Structure 1
Amino acid sequence: MNSYHDGFHWGRALSAALIASMAWSATAADVDAEAMRASQKDGSEWLSYGRTWAEQRFSPLTQINDKSVADLGLAWFIDLDNTRGLEATPLYSDGVLYTSLSWSRVMAVDASSGEILWSFDPKVNKAKGRHACCDAVNRGVALWKGKVYVGTLDGRLIALDAKTGKQVWSQQTTDNSLPYTITAAPRVVKGMVMIGNGGAEFGVRGYFSAYDAETGKMHWRFYTVPADPAKPVEHPELAEAAKTWSKDTDWSLGGGGTAWDAMAYDPELDLLYVGTGNGSPWNREIRSPGGGDNLFLSSILAIRPDTGRLVWHYQVNPGDTWDFTATQQITLADIDIDGKQRQVLMQAPKNGFFYVLDRATGELISAEKFGKVTWAERIDLATGRPVEVAGARYEKEPILMWPSPFGAHNWHPMSFNPQTGLVYIPYQEVPGTYSNEGKGYAPRKAFNTGSGSSEITELPREYATGALIAWDPVKQKAAWRVEHPNHWNGGTLTTAGNLVFQGTAAGQFVAYTADAGEPLWTFDGQTGIIAGPMTYRHKGEQYVALMAGWGGSAALFGGDAAVATGSRNVSRMLVFKLGAENRLPTLAEPPETERVPEPVVASKEHLENGKNLYSQYCAVCHGAGGIGGGVIADLRHSSAEVRTAWEAIVLHGAYQSKGMAGFSDSLNQEQAQQILDYIRHREYATWMEAMDAGNKD
């Protein structure tokens, strides 16, 4: 059945939800600890973000395999009323898929037909988009005992009835007067919903919390960085952490360390593993003058889930000053190292090193570069600390280095196949420059990191590439590698059918052999694919499901490198099975801009001010260098109506309902005009470049 929902709208879906639920006789999701343990061997269901608590994203299903995958086809799809990035991994239980869209919306879908059973809109105030560093995305939901849990962009944790989609309870997990956000999928452990938050680019203090899955009551909260020493210490770990911060620390800056994605759980050791993020601001010279490791920034924490107390920690980047987070996926596995089976934790964080730790003790077993890394020579196995190259901290002069803040690996899920012993990493090779020069720090007002990190548009687009790397965690080297012309490619799924699936920034969804990386099957998704795929078995048939929709930080901020992908946002849910023959409709070409721009008459200082203000307040959504990346409007091509209403939009929030908050608390009329003139200048400059290129052909 072709489930093509032309122009699906949430209002109509909500009004039809009661009818759908009456016709739906399938049992609602009833996920508990027993079901989670059973799912480790039975691949029929996908019950948590990484399928199991170990976050391996490996499925034991084999109906779709390296011999049969050539017959894989589109079973059904849903066109979604969604204009921002799709990062969620759908969950599957008892015949139903549960997934989230941008702005923290949730829907339940019949897994065989694609019919929407219910939808839920938490009605996030779109002005909150101003505080989202990396798009108004959501990476998924959690299931537990008949409920669906979602974290919202405005900091709420909401429990829904899995059968009807009606709200059961809601808790505000953050101070909504501060620029916190939630984009991660919650995890449920021992009847508690675990959730962190983001916002370290805007000046917040990181933490994660445990809430009762039945009632919503908070059990405990773990702060990842200390606060003002004049105030009471919330838990004992912070007293030790405070010793690693400068006595001159300005605690009003928040500190950062937000736990915005990675979590895993080992039920045998009864340890919850949480990855923490960058400092607030990035630049340690501003955050903690005089130095210090700044615990627990950029760290992996092992926590007792019953109490929230710390058992061990490993800091990936002591004194981080580059936005090298440890929030990338944490994967648990048992592997043979030197003839001995080890219980390990694996991570490929932003900094470009692949880490293997003993997950019981936190001991560093090995760490090697999995991509191009120039900020450090190696990781000293005796101390666990990186051996940094001279000048890496850019104290005296700017530095161009690999990786950039985009990371060698970002949030895009990696997967581990216990049969091949390989980890499949969505790698990206993008350099960045860091500098102490010319950048003030304005916490909570705008995306300002205090680092002076350059716009990616200042580098040739060919500098931003990617790859799918099959990494051997025992030998600490690549077994095979597939090159991609662009960065910001999708997450991976691996199966017992000797397959690895990955979508690309250019819109291709590809199946490779897991042992050798041979491409076997490709599907044109018509939009950049960034999310991780999943697979499930329903009524004897194996399916592969994927949320497709270009977005996220690189798509918004990436400028010319994002344009190079050729992608735009066409949001869909795509589901495949063997023998299916559905097709996506042909996309209409986007309208071309016919306006001939005029040169801007303004002083160099005026345009430079406009550039700096644009970089600080606008680029995070509208693209570095004024170049839109195919998701949010490219302001170079904004209409005459937009430019006439510029002040009302930029200062007073006339487009707040579209996600464009007003900036009257930060900008004045003159500054708004400087930004507009810079955009007009960029429009003219790029038009002239295109004309010159045309004349040369």
Structure 2
Amino acid sequence: MRKILLASCFGAAALFTAGYAVANDELAKLSADPNQWVMPTQNYANTRYSELKQINTENVRKIAPVWTFSTGVLRGHEGSPLVIGDVMYVHAPFPNTVFALDLNNDGKILWKYEPKQDPNVIPVMCCDTVNRGLSYADGKIFLHQADTTLVALDAKTGAVVWSVKDGDPSKGATGTDAPFVFKDKVFIGVSGGEFGVRSWVSAYNIKDGKLAWRGYSEGPDSDTLIDPAKTTSLGKPVGPNSSESTWQGDQWKIGGGATWGWYSYDPALNLVYYGSGNPSTWNPVQRPGDNRWSMSIWARDLDTGAVKWIYQMTPHDEWDFDGVNEMILTDQTIGGTPRKLLTHFDRNGFGYTLDRATGELLVAEKFDPVVNWATKVDMDKSSKTYGRPLVVDAYSTQHNGEDSNSKGICPAALGTKDEQPAAYSPDTQLFYVPTNHVCMDYEPYKVSYTAGQAYVGAAVAMYPPKGDTNMGNFIAWDGKTGKIVWSNKEEFSAWGGALATAGGVVFYGTLEGYLKAVDAKTGKELYKFKTPSGIIGNVMTYEHGGKQYVAVLSGVGGWAGIGLAAGLLQPENAAAWHDAVDQGKLPTKDKTVDTAGLGAVGGYAGLASYTSLGGTLTVFALPSQ
């Protein structure tokens, strides 16, 4: 068995180094070194797995904070630092400060970059002023600023090498995602689905910042870079005009489909994978049709942007189930057949496994049993509804038209999992998924589009599923069978990204602020520590001076923590909501509390009893011998 697991591990490593000769050689070499953390999700495959094992199941209980660093910024701290050689690079929310810290000198600040941005960008940032991290290549640190500026900084000095503006914040476009470097290009997406931004992904040359190509989520084939004869969906050519024909009139021009999530890359196939988000507006009555290609998984050629295959998970989205979550690439055997796999945990509550070379759908199962808006995804290839979720009419948000409140929909709009990335361990061949265990009431209403103004058109109230008080679970998932292997309850959403290690330990963070360590095989909790603020950042690890460290950013915020981050939550409302949760009396009668912050303020009001604003990096290690 050990030989099989080692073969699986080394096979995966070989897969993502085979194409390095034609990719960025320096970056490839650095990413293969487990002592460093040179990409937002650790590697091209987004596995968030580290081969470091100095910290293991036997000794993790002994780890403790060894140093901390304050970013000086409040609001939500998503993403994680980079470690390249002896330097750690730390980012912050708006104004998107970047720090270079000397690991040889107690984290001394080597340089600091603080961009000067128009504060008017803040009101058009949908769900807090977050930023999901940095990337490195060619001696440069890449930052995607809130105002959509992509900037390349000299890694040694912090000086600006080049910068380019990707979008227009006055029309609702903002930058919240981490850049990703694959081969000779740096990739960024755009936020703005709640402002009617027709979204895109941009590929810039890392040398000079020139735009190589841009692919839109909706519109003519020439804009989406879809070839009607060659691009496939579920094994069939999509045909001409596959996007425009699924929108009424010119609605695709304000169609959303934001691209602010995580990107992955297979060098052997030369394909980049990512997801597109919700269509605009949230009111489904105003946009009849499948609204392609929002809510989709994309596979694009890195060099040209041409779409090889595409799969829409939630046609005609009625619930804001953004499809932007990470695509995790693994090589495994299903049914006796070796496969190049892509696994994706969608906001809609289904965990998908596809063949990443062809786009064939292999698995689609609920990763929280309470998901009720659809009975299943139709897996019958002979069916007219093959690959589509079978929607339950009672939980449709448009079956009674506008101003009709559909109640008890699971999951809530923030999904069974939002942007918090999962991890995969080749040792257990399991995925470790931080999840939300939340339901909602959803009331659409008519809304008109004005550039730069919110284009939502729905009031949402969130709360735990009936009979439960926990709002999160941390699960282990078998992607080959679509089954939960084990599950740990969390009082609030597990909103911190997971990390799996060769030491058999999986780390993640909670909204109350706990860093937790669990046994990868059993889920047994081995360690927890309360950090200064709620964790929506992603745990990372590195080795320096022969010692393994684990680090995480804390700073409550993001969508789930927007009530605290933006000052929308009053202490008396928090106390009332917390009491209501304890007594099973949900939702509250105060609709302004229930629905504020796109529904999250009421749902997460109890957070105010556990944590407060902050912005701190906490670094852990075993005690010195």
The two structures share one fold, judged by TM-score above 0.5: yes
Contact 2:35-2:542 at 8 Å conserved across structures: yes
Residue 568 of structure 1 corresponds to 612
Residue 296 of structure 2 corresponds to 299
Partner Cα separation in structure 2 for residue 265 and residue 409 of structure 1: 22
Residue 512 of structure 2 corresponds to 506
Compute the displacement of 1:329 (Å): 1.2
Q: Normalization by structure 1: what TM-score?
A: 0.75
Compute the displacement of 1:563 (Å): 3.0
Compute the displacement of 1:319 (Å): 1.5
1:294 to 1:108, Cα distance in 2 relative to 1, 3 A: same
Residue 542 of structure 1 corresponds to 548
Contact 1:428-1:464 at 8 Å conserved across structures: no
State the Cα deviation string for residues 335-391 of structure 1 (Å, max 9, x = none): 121122211000001000000000000000011000121110001112111111124
Contact 1:431-1:464 at 8 Å conserved across structures: no
Contact 1:41-1:60 at 8 Å conserved across structures: no
| Structure 1 gaps, min length 5 | 1-30, 582-697
Count residues in correspondence: 542
Q: As a proportion of its length, which structure holds more strand?
A: 2
Residue 467 of structure 1 corresponds to 473
Q: 1:395 aligns with which of 388, 393, 399?
A: 399
Contact 1:192-1:211 at 8 Å conserved across structures: yes
Structure number with greater Rg is 1
Q: 2:184 aligns with which of 172, 178, 191?
A: 191
Pairwise CA RMSD: 2.3
Contact 1:198-1:258 at 8 Å conserved across structures: yes
| Secondary structure at 2:246 match in 1 | coil
Contact 1:58-1:494 at 8 Å conserved across structures: yes
Compute the displacement of 1:75 (Å): 1.4
Residue 214 of structure 2 corresponds to 221
Compute the displacement of 1:463 (Å): 5.5
Contact 2:280-2:456 at 8 Å conserved across structures: yes
1:336 to 1:486, Cα distance in 2 relative to 1, 3 A: same
Q: 1:449 aligns with which of 448, 456, 480?
A: 456
Partner Cα separation in structure 2 for residue 52 and residue 500 of structure 1: 17
Code of the aligned partner of 1:348: F
Code of the aligned partner of 1:256: G
Q: Which moved more, 1:347-356 or 1:523-532?
A: 523-532
Contact 1:328-1:349 at 8 Å conserved across structures: yes
State the Cα deviation string for residues 231-277 of structure 1 (Å, max 9, x = none): x857455952334423434355x101111112100001111012111
Contact 2:247-2:290 at 8 Å conserved across structures: no
Partner Cα separation in structure 2 for residue 538 and residue 568 of structure 1: 32
1:351 to 1:459, Cα distance in 2 relative to 1, 3 A: closer
Partner Cα separation in structure 2 for residue 143 and residue 495 of structure 1: 22
Partner Cα separation in structure 1 for residue 525 and residue 405 of structure 2: 41
Compute the displacement of 1:443 (Å): 4.0
Partner Cα separation in structure 2 for residue 259 and residue 96 of structure 1: 30
Contact 2:133-2:178 at 8 Å conserved across structures: yes
Q: Which moved more, 1:538-547 or 1:385-394?
A: 385-394
Q: Which moved more, 1:516-525 or 1:155-164?
A: 516-525
- Are residue 169 (structure 1) and residue 170 (structure 2) matched? no
Partner Cα separation in structure 2 for residue 163 and residue 461 of structure 1: 55
Residue 110 of structure 1 corresponds to 102
Structure number with higher relative contact order (C-alpha < 8 Å, ≥ 6 residues apart): 2
Residue 75 of structure 2 corresponds to 84
Residue 5 of structure 1 corresponds to none
Code of the aligned partner of 1:33: N
Partner Cα separation in structure 2 for residue 322 and residue 218 of structure 1: 34
1:366 to 1:247, Cα distance in 2 relative to 1, 3 A: same
1:464 to 1:484, Cα distance in 2 relative to 1, 3 A: closer
Contact 1:274-1:300 at 8 Å conserved across structures: yes
Contact 2:193-2:280 at 8 Å conserved across structures: yes
Q: Normalization by structure 2: what TM-score?
A: 0.83
1:470 to 1:303, Cα distance in 2 relative to 1, 3 A: same
| Secondary structure at 1:128 match in 2 | helix
Residue 237 of structure 2 corresponds to none
| Secondary structure at 1:468 match in 2 | strand
Contact 2:215-2:223 at 8 Å conserved across structures: no
Residue 241 of structure 1 corresponds to 242
Compute the displacement of 1:453 (Å): 3.1
- Are residue 280 (structure 1) and residue 276 (structure 2) matched? no
Q: Map residues 352-501 of structure 1 onto 2, 5 A cutoff.
A: 352-371=349-368, 372-381=370-379, 382=381, 383-391=386-394, 392-396=396-400, 397-400=404-407, 401-436=409-444, 438-444=445-451, 446-450=453-457, 452-456=458-462, 465-501=471-507
Code of the aligned partner of 1:90: P
| Structure 2 gaps, min length 5 | 1-21, 229-239, 563-596
Q: Which moved more, 1:474-483 or 1:361-370?
A: 474-483
Partner Cα separation in structure 2 for residue 333 and residue 458 of structure 1: 33
Contact 2:513-2:611 at 8 Å conserved across structures: yes
Contact 1:535-1:542 at 8 Å conserved across structures: yes
Partner Cα separation in structure 2 for residue 71 and residue 458 of structure 1: 34
1:442 to 1:535, Cα distance in 2 relative to 1, 3 A: same
Residue 112 of structure 2 corresponds to 119
Code of the aligned partner of 1:416: Y
Compute the displacement of 1:412 (Å): 0.6
Contact 1:530-1:549 at 8 Å conserved across structures: yes
1:249 to 1:431, Cα distance in 2 relative to 1, 3 A: farther
Compute the displacement of 1:129 (Å): 0.6
State the Cα deviation string for residues 410-458 of structure 1 (Å, max 9, x = none): 001110111111111111111112233x4434444543422x2323379
Code of the aligned partner of 2:331: D
Partner Cα separation in structure 2 for residue 278 and residue 464 of structure 1: 26
Contact 1:36-1:53 at 8 Å conserved across structures: no
Compute the displacement of 1:561 (Å): 3.4
